[in-house]
Amino acid sequence: MKKEILVIIGLILWSCSKSSEEVAYVPVPMEVEIPTNFPDIVYNLDNNPVTEAGFELGKQLFYEGKLSANDAIPCAFCHEQAFAFTHHEHTVSHGLNDGVGRRNAQPIQNLAYQSEFMWDGAATHLDLQPVIPITSEVEMGETLSNVISKLNADLYYQGQFDKAFEDGEINSENMLKALSQFMIMMISSNSKYDKYVRNEEGGTLSTQELDGLESFKAKCTSCHATDLFTDQSYRNNGLSINPKLNDKGRFNIFENPDDLYKFKVPSLRNVEKSKPYMHDGRFLTLEAVLEFYDSGLVDNGNVDPVFERVDGSLGITLSDYEKESIIAFLKTLTDYEFLNDDRFAEF
């Protein structure tokens, strides 16, 4: 009898202490930067307000190998901070068991300002984007349910989900929300160029950089528009077709012939650091990219009319000085504060 009573009292006490631990959820809001020179934010922060604990959890998940089948390939494997969160020096990324993907990893920056993701727009909500790499056989090769059970067995996550979310559940909803919170905060808006347009200290551009900006405005901003440097449309910029990959780009989504070989116009922020270039990483330098625009376009059947010259050939005519100065300008988009921001760093 006595024993039983003791057990019951024990149980009551335990259930009390357990519930008081659960009160660990104290949301400390984090402000998402809204740079004055950016277009409107797209991500709906009301549905997933960023908190310190949620951001911290998201960062941990971003650097967490357990999100992959062999526990060794975190998101950061292909998205490294020093290279604007791209897969450094990889034309196309490789992941699980050295499975080789087909595309060049995109930078993770300013995603809260975009409505569609990936080179072909296959991801239409930032929260759901991670499902693709997690479940892709050549990237992380996992399933959501298995990731969730691995996280459930981990003491750190047991505590951190409690701190980050009111219901404290370790489930796909909260895992994806945390990843989004981390990615939403990754805003690159403090390059020399930004300081120049916002008239801030440190924002003085050299003559060559200014000439580059002028040429860029005249020849590139029909696609690389706004201070995000993308109009977020899908375009065919006349790259020759790589028969090994035969990546049809946007066509893969709707199987619409008008979409053949169209890819999302990439942002050019931190482009100096995110080489190699294009969806398949075919160009190793910015010089090669500008050479391509001047003289390398091929008629793959669906090239954007913007590139048509009066004589019927394709391309954007650029003098040597224009190429040099555009590159000088593009380098002013490098945001060292972002690339060295400890908040996003693994350690």
Partner 1 sequence: MKIMKFTFALLLCAVLSSCSSDDDMEDLAGQTGDLVIKFDNGVGDQDFIFQTSYNKSNGESFKLETLKYIISNIRFKDDEGNVFMYPSEKNVFIVNEADGNNAGEIWVTLEDIDAANYTEVTFGIGIDQDRFALGADGQGDFLTEAENEGMLWSWATGFKFIRFDGTYSTSTVTDEGLNLHMGSVGTALDNYKETILSLPNTVLVRNEKTPEIHIKADILKAFESVTSVNFADGYDQVHVDAVETPVIAANVATMFSVHHVHND
Site string for ligand HEC, 224-253 (x = CB under 6 A): x----------x-x-x--------------
CB of 254 to partner 1, least distance (A): 4
Distance, C-alpha 82 to centroid of its chain: 14
E-state strands within the chain: 234-235, 263-264
DSSP character at residue 285 = S
DSSP character at residue 210 = H
Tell me whether residue 25 or residue 63 sits nearer to ligand HEC (CB atom). 63
> CA angle 332-335-337, nearest 5°?
145
Tell me whether residue 9 or residue 100 sits nearer to ligand HEC (CB atom). 100
The number of residues in the chain equals: 347
Report the C-alpha gap between 192 and 179 in whole angstroms: 29
Of 32, 41, 148, 197, which lies in the binding site for partner 1, with binding defined by CB under 8 A?
148
The answer to the question of residue 125 lying near partner 1 (CB under 8 A) is: yes
Report the C-alpha gap between 262 and 264 in whole angstroms: 7
Q: Per CB under 6 A, which region of 4-12, 145-153, 169-177, 270-278 contacts ligand HEC?
A: 270-278
The answer to the question of residue 169 lying near partner 1 (CB under 8 A) is: yes
Site for ligand HEC in 26-85 (CB under 6 A): 67, 73, 75, 77-79
202, 195 contact by CB (below 8 A): yes
Report the C-alpha gap between 203 and 196 in whole angstroms: 4
Dig out the tokens for 74 from the structure: 């975190």
Q: Per CB under 6 A, which region of 14-22, 41-49, 134-142, 144-152 contacts ligand HEC?
A: 134-142
Residues found near ligand HEC in the complex (CB under 6 A)? 67, 73, 75, 77-79, 93, 95, 101, 103, 105-106, 108, 111, 117-119, 129-130, 133-134, 139-140, 179, 219-220, 222-224, 235, 237, 239, 263, 265-266, 268, 271, 274, 277-279, 286, 289, 293, 304, 306, 316, 326
